């Protein structure tokens, strides 16, 4: 609730219920002066009147534990007024300059200024090939340029081994910077006492709020900002670790295929929840160094439980909220061929990191069905388990969400059965 705090009434700047004209007359004596008045037209509402540029400007004043007239909230009226005068001065005196700030940004010439850049040569080497500390010996007598060209050619031939360059939008949050700061998009000063701009929570990029609207979708998450594995956006996680897929998915599936494909009730039988939580904490703490071997967790159901928990805790499901309606409509198609065609089109709606992870998971589940005589887990059973795990209804009522369960099962079952055709 918004109300008038006692500090306004006791403030020397509070002048009670006076008109705009009276406020203007009082403030006309000094540029930069201000007062608080109660509205005559709407008693119980309050106005902050500022004298700036030989004009009196009136702003509706609110309080919800902090003082505000717009988006920014302040601990004191003094801070609000000080920030207001700074903003008015900048926007009045430099309006034309501000309008041109994003036209020729420094960002397009230098890119990130907050991230460590890898050597160019390392970027073009296939995964797993390490750079030597010293110069590369010319064993075949070729010069450096020829060898570099050869490296590029080999990297192109092994493109499937390269980590894909997933596109990711920045996760900007309003931020208060301590001390002088400059926008990393336009290289101009970020003004104001608080909330001077926005900061990407994933990569640390600092920009003006207006600049954030034109920054490219090229966020490269920094591990200093990505603190955990579970409950982290999938694309954010794989970009932060420079990987094709989340390490949880790769490591759990590798462990399951090494020692669990013939386990009865695989994925259907639950492991001990406390131990599943231990695996989650291990990944959050140690990342790819987490020990999920049989020495640490003998019961394979703990590993399958940890994998399912990872997908359940994704903030954006593997089959995203945006794509969800299309997948459900696809499942309602009765003709098998048309359903397959529609499913193929629906997959195109998924972000690249999501579809790569889904492809890898479906190929794994297809291999699980190869042992269905031993594990009793055909594609239909796996669809029942993974349908609600991979797909979540976006803000649907309980009855609709309940009705969707059978379609979720059918979607996953179709993906498993036809994974070689669809991916």
131-189 per-position pLDDT tens digit:
333 333 334 444 444 444 333 333 333 444 456 678 888 889 988 888 788 888 888 88
Q: Is the pLDDT of residue 129 over 60?
A: no
- Whole-angstrom Cα distance, residue 319 to residue 422? 15
- Indicate whether 216 and 256 sit together in one domain: no
Closest CA to 392 of 304, 322, 309: 322
Paired tokens of 225: 């900002």
- Residue 317, judged by CB atoms within 10 A of its CB (0-12, 13-18, 19+), counts as buried
Where do the H-state alpha helices sit in 242-323?
A: 247-259, 273-286, 300-312
- Select the more confidently predicted residue: 327 or 392: 327
Range of the domain at 216: 102-111+166-220
First to last CA, the chain: 53
CATH number at residue 36: 3.30.505.10
Question: pTM here?
Answer: 0.64
- Whole-angstrom Cα distance, residue 272 to residue 66? 47
2: in domain: no
- Indicate whether 84 and 174 sit together in one domain: no
268: in domain: yes
Angle at 138 between CA 136 and CA 140, to 5 degrees: 140
| Helix (H) or strand (E) segment spanning residue 34 | strand 34-38
Q: Is the pLDDT of residue 105 over 70?
A: no
For residue range 184-235, list pLDDT tens digits in order. Answer: 888 888 888 788 889 988 888 899 888 888 888 888 887 777 889 999 999 9
- Indicate whether 305 and 375 sit together in one domain: yes
- Indicate whether 326 and 349 sit together in one domain: yes
- Indicate whether 337 and 384 sit together in one domain: yes
- Indicate whether 253 and 400 sit together in one domain: yes
- Whole-angstrom Cα distance, residue 319 to residue 329? 14
253: in domain: yes
- Select the more confidently predicted residue: 280 or 90: 280
Average pLDDT over residues 62-84: 87
- Indicate whether 182 and 257 sit together in one domain: no
241: in domain: no
Average pLDDT over residues 288-299: 95
Are the C-beta atoms of residues 249 and 361 closer than 8 Å to each other? yes
- Indicate whether 251 and 210 sit together in one domain: no
Are the C-beta atoms of residues 239 and 166 closer than 8 Å to each other? yes
Where do the H-state alpha helices sit in 370-397?
A: 372-375, 379-390
- Indicate whether 177 and 198 sit together in one domain: yes
Q: What mean pLDDT is reported for the chain?
A: 82
- Whole-angstrom Cα distance, residue 191 to residue 181? 8
- Whole-angstrom Cα distance, residue 196 to residue 121? 38
The total number of structural domains that make up the chain:
3
Closest CA to 313 of 284, 339, 345, 340: 284
Q: Give the model's confidence band at 356: pLDDT under 50 very low, under 70 low, under 90 confident, else very high.
A: very high
CATH number at residue 263: 1.10.555.10
- Indicate whether 275 and 369 sit together in one domain: yes
CATH number at residue 185: 3.30.60.20
Say what the pLDDT of residue 227 is: 81
233: in domain: no
End residue of a domain, out of 98, 126, 154: 98
- Whole-angstrom Cα distance, residue 45 to residue 162? 61
Sheet holding 206-207, edge to edge: 172-175, 197-200, 206-207
- Indicate whether 358 and 266 sit together in one domain: yes
Q: List Cβ neighbours of 97 (8 Å cut-off, separation of 6 or more).
A: none
- Indicate whether 401 and 311 sit together in one domain: yes
């Amino acid at each position: 609730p918004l109300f008038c705090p006692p500090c306004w009434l006791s403030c020397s700047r509070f002048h009670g219920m006076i008109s705009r004209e009276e406020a203007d007359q009082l403030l006309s004596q000094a540029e930069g002066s201000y007062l608080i008045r109660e509205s005559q037209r709407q008693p119980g509402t309050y106005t902050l009147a500022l004298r700036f540029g030989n004009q009196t400007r009136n702003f509706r004043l609110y309080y919800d534990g902090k003082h505000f007239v717009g988006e920014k909230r302040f601990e004191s009226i003094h801070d609000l007024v000080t920030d207001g005068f700074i903003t008015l001065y900048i926007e009045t005196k430099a309006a034309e300059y501000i309008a041109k700030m994003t036209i020729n940004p420094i960002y397009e010439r230098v890119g990130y200024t907050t991230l460590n850049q890898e050597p160019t040569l390392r970027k073009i080497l296939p995964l797993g090939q390490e750079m030597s500390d010293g110069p590369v010996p010319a064993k075949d007598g070729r010069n450096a340029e020829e060898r570099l060209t050869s490296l590029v050619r080999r990297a192109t031939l092994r493109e499937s081994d390269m980590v894909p360059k997933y596109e990711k939008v920045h996760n900007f949050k309003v931020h208060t910077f301590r001390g002088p700061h400059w926008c990393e998009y336009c290289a101009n000063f970020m003004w104001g006492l608080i909330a001077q701009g926005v900061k990407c929570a994933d990569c640390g990029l600092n920009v003006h709020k207006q600049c954030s609207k034109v920054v490219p979708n090229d966020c490269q998450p920094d591990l200093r900002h990505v603190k955990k594995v579970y409950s982290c956006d999938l694309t954010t996680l794989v970009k932060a670790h420079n990987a094709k897929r989340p390490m949880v998915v790769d490591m759990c599936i590798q462990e399951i295929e090494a020692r669990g494909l013939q386990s009865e009730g695989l994925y259907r039988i639950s492991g001990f929840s406390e131990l599943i939580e231990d695996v989650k904490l291990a990944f959050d703490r140690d990342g790819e160094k987490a020990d999920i071997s049989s020495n640490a967790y003998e019961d394979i159901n703990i590993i399958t439980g940890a994998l399912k928990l990872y997908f359940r805790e994704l903030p954006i499901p593997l089959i995203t909220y945006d794509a969800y309606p299309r997948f459900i409509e696809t499942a309602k198609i009765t003709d098998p061929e048309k359903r397959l065609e529609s499913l193929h089109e629906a997959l195109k709606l998924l972000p690249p990191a999501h579809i790569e992870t889904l492809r890898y998971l479906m190929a794994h589940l297809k291999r699980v069905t190869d042992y269905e005589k031993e594990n009793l887990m055909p594609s239909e059973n796996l669809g029942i388990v993974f349908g609600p795990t991979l797909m979540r209804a976006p803000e649907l009522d309980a009855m609709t969400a309940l009705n969707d369960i059978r379609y979720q099962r059918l979607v996953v079952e179709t993906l498993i059965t036809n994974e070689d055709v669809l991916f």
